[in-house]
Amino acid sequence: MCLLHLQVGLSSLLLVEQAYLVGNTALLNAEAMKHVVLAAIFLLAACEEYPPPEEATELPRTVAPAGASVYIISPADSDTIAAGEVIVRFGLVGMGVAPAGVDFVETGHHHLLLNVETLPPMNLPLPNDANHLHFGNGQTETTLELPSGTHTLQLLFGDRLHIPHDPPVISEKITVTVE
- In this structure, the answer to whether residues 15 and 81 fall within a common structural domain is no
pLDDT of residue 119: 96
122, pLDDT greater than 80? yes
Same domain, 12 and 74: no
Question: Is the per-residue pLDDT at 125 higher than 50?
Answer: yes
Do 158 and 97 have their domain in common? yes
**Please, what is the average pLDDT of the chain?**
83
Measured distance CA(88)–CA(71) in Å, rounded: 11
Asked if pLDDT for residue 1 goes beyond 50, the answer is no
For the whole model, what pTM was predicted? 0.70
**Which is higher by pLDDT, 88 or 84?**
88
Pairing of strands 84-93, 141-146: antiparallel
What whole-number distance in Å separates Cα of residue 18 and Cα of residue 21?
5
- What total number of domains does the chain contain? 2
Section 71-75 average pLDDT: 98
**59 falls in which pLDDT band (50, 70, 90)?**
confident
Residue 122 lies in a domain: yes
Q: What is the DSSP letter of 59?
A: P
Q: Is 62 within a domain? A: no
Counting DSSP H helices and E strands in the chain, the numbers are 2, 9
- Please report, for the domain that includes residue 77, its CATH number: 2.60.40.10
Q: 77 and 34: one domain?
A: no
75, part of any domain: yes
Q: What domain range includes position 142?
A: 69-178
Average pLDDT over residues 110-139: 97
Task: Say whether both 73 and 109 belong to one domain.
Answer: yes
Phi-psi region of 162 (alpha: psi -120 to 50; beta: other; left: phi over 0): left
103 and 162 together in one domain: yes
Please determine, for residue 8, whether its predicted confidence score (pLDDT) is greater than 70: no
* Separation of alpha carbons 30 and 46, rounded Å: 24
Kind of pairing between the strands at 149-158 and 84-93? unpaired
Residue 59 within any structural domain of the chain: no
- 39 and 82 in a single domain? The answer is no
Same domain, 46 and 73: no
Average pLDDT over residues 52-80: 87
